[in-house]
Amino acid sequence: MNTDGHKSYQAVWGRPLWWTSVLVSVLAFAGAVSLVTNLEGSMRLLGLLPPVGFGVAAFFCIRGYALDGATLLIRRLLWTTRISLSGLESVESVPKAMSGSLRTFGNGGLYSFTGWYWNRPLGSYRAWVTDLRNTVVLRVGGRTLVISPEPPEAFVATLRDCLLRR
């Protein structure tokens, strides 16, 4: 239990997220340094684009998840995304639920896997994931959501317990 009364879960970075974020960050910042040192005058401003892009992506990273009654809280760097779970149809731990997914809009691994995706087993879904191996699938009001709270089994058990008390 967190000090604010919410049941909290960590957003652990899996290897793919860690490696993608580190490698792309290093390459982009190296490119930015190259632009700044090799371009003349106002063209050097192009070197600011990669750091600004990474700064924007960092704001959307996922720091953790929490349950507050019938609300899922997805903690970001500076704000919390709130998702109503009223109308929750199912919740289950589905390891590697995003396997074989196509990203239709969103972030594919720079500090998080977030946005809209599609794969055969789930159809269209919304993701807020940091660990592709430990995913939880929620079906809420006809929508499918994928998250990666740690530990996923504890999250599922807590949410199911809340549903049984309704």
Per-residue pLDDT reduced to its tens digit, 54-64: 778 888 899 99
Q: How confident is the model at residue 34 (pLDDT cuts 50, 70, 90)?
A: confident
Residue-wise pLDDT for 71-109, tens only, equals 999 999 899 999 999 889 999 999 999 999 999 999 988
The rounded distance, in Å, linking the Cα atoms of 72 and 82 is 6
The rounded distance, in Å, linking the Cα atoms of 86 and 128 is 19
Give pLDDT, residue 127.
98
Q: What total number of domains does the chain contain? A: 1
And the tokens for 112?
């998080």
Which domain covers residue 164, as residue numbers?
A: 1-166
And the tokens for 46?
């192009």
- Measured CA to CA in angstroms, residue 58 lies from 48, 78, 86, 123, 159 at distances of 15, 10, 30, 28, 29
Is the pLDDT reported for residue 121 higher than 90? yes
How does 83-122 read in b/e, with b if 16+ C-beta sit within 10 Å?
bebeebeebebbeebbeebebeeeeebbbbbbbebeeeeb
Q: How confident is the model at residue 3 (pLDDT cuts 50, 70, 90)?
A: very low
Neighbours of 60 (CB within 10 A): 19
What average pLDDT does range 111-122 have in this prediction? 96
> pTM score, two decimals?
0.86
Residues across the chain? 166
